Amino acid sequence: MPKHTRLKSGKHDPCARGLSKPFHLLDRVTEVVESCREARKRSRNSETPQDLSDETLSKQARFTDNISLMNYRHFLHLLPRLVNVVTLAEAIPVVGSGQSLPLDLFKIASRCNGAYFASKRFSAVQLAYTSPRCRVLVFHTGRLVGTGCGGTMEARLAIARAQRQLAEEAGVYIHTRNFQIINTVGAVSLHATLNCEAFADAHTATAHYDQQSFVGLAYRPENEACCVEIYSTGRANLPGARTERSLHESFYRMLPELLRFSSASRLLSYIPESIQSIHRTDRSSTIPMPPMPPMPPMPPMPPMPSSSCATSAKFTKPNKSGKAGKSHKRASTRPADAIDEEFEMEMFSPLQSHPSKMSAVLQNIDEVEGNDSVNDESGNEEDADPFDDDVLTSLGL
């Protein structure tokens, strides 16, 4: 052990010099936890108590008149909350202000505080605010788009703040009109796990689940104001609705199917059967498809001919060099006499009904067999063909 790390009694011992003793870890953690508890008690005592009287609640009830809370009275924790409201408004320059459309975005971005403008990436100036926490996009056409607000009143306030900032800092005086909400996004948690595969198998027409491309389940039932993007943990996003009331009503009709395939199916007892049967797809209750009729037996294949010219001897196509090429099929191993007899029977079969033509062909064959070869004009010898084209043509064949 090094000398400078040894502790000896005397001047090297901190306890002997009157310094603080080494603390124990468990004692120090206990002391910190107790101090935190005392600080929490002091903060709670300093808070003013909330007024929960009937008069105060009746005054606040006007803010929830348009929210359908009656359906969620047994499970208020499943009520969706707004997390994003997308709004749209039109900006018109004030008459006499010297401004006109299109707006000068470079001037607005250079004079407004908290503005961000990347003309090559996105053709709009972004004005960021902290209260309310949102962003307002200003386009050169005069359109104002608000995103990130947590409610409709915050969305209106964000557009008003952007209008005032443009007038005070950039000198752009505008009027706003046609304010509207184009999309809302809600969020909710089932506080239970969801079997996404079983849900997708039961709702093949309205649900899509592909774990390789997206870990969530997309559920889009018909005639609903919003859709559901839910994960196996029970957390869900609800985009698509225009109003908060339509969001709550649509999700209340879709909730029974989500609970039926989750670990919180006990909550289905609080939902009426008429609501549960709206989007239910029970395979056992569907009309089964009629069985397919049995296929008729295949007729027996006709027997193949015993032999023919095309199957008994496979001729090969000569290549460019004049030599016979390789045959793709194996040649027949039957004797040549049997092949010649079969060939003659096949050739003479159409002549059996014409005795005169039959005798003419036989006579021609006898003449050819008498002369083994015929000298052509060039002096080369060729084997005479008894079934020459000119002979058959003259016979009417």
Q: Does residue 278 contact residue 206 with C-beta atoms inside 8 Å?
A: no
* Per-residue model confidence (pLDDT) at position 11: 52
- For 117-245, strand residue ranges (E) read 125-130, 133-138, 143-149, 174-189, 207-208, 217-219, 228-230, 235-241
Greater confidence, 263 or 395? 263
Q: DSSP class of residue 357?
A: H
Asked if 387 contacts 344 with a C-beta cutoff of 8 angstroms, the reply is: no
pLDDT tens by residue, 367-383: 655 554 444 444 454 45
Average pLDDT, integer, range 222-229: 93
Q: How confident is the model at residue 220 (pLDDT cuts 50, 70, 90)?
A: very high
Grouping H, G, I as helix, E, B as strand and the rest as coil, residue 112 is coil
217 pLDDT above the threshold of 90? yes
Answer with the residue of higher pLDDT: 42 or 51.
42
Give 221-224's long-range contacts (Cβ < 8 A, gap of 24+): 221/253, 221/254, 221/279, 224/250, 224/253, 224/254
- Per the CB < 8 A criterion, the answer to whether 368 and 386 are in contact is yes
Q: Which of 66-70, 183-187, 301-305 has the lowest mean pLDDT?
A: 301-305
Write down the pLDDT at residue 308: 46
Work out the mean pLDDT of the chain and round it to a whole number. 79
- The string of pLDDT tens digits covering residues 319-369 is 555 544 444 445 445 555 555 555 555 555 555 556 666 666 667 666 655
Task: Give the whole-angstrom CA distance, residue 388 versus residue 351.
Answer: 16
At 256-281, the pLDDT tens digits run 999 999 999 999 999 999 999 999 87
Q: What is the pLDDT of residues 83-112, one digit of tens each?
A: 999 999 999 999 888 888 899 999 999 999
Q: Is the pLDDT of residue 226 over 90?
A: yes
| Domains contained in the chain, CATH given | 69-184 (3.30.310.10), 190-283 (3.30.310.10)
| Contact between 225 and 242 (Cβ < 8 Å) | yes
How sure is the predictor about 286, in pLDDT bands with cuts at 50, 70 and 90? very low
Asked if 125 and 140 touch (Cβ cutoff 8 Å), the reply is no
Residues 240-253, mean pLDDT to the nearest whole number: 92
Q: What is the DSSP letter of 353?
A: T
- Over 90: is that where the pLDDT of 135 sits? yes
**In angstroms, how far is CA 32 from the centroid of its own chain?**
51
Contact criterion met (CB below 8 Å) for 193 and 262: yes
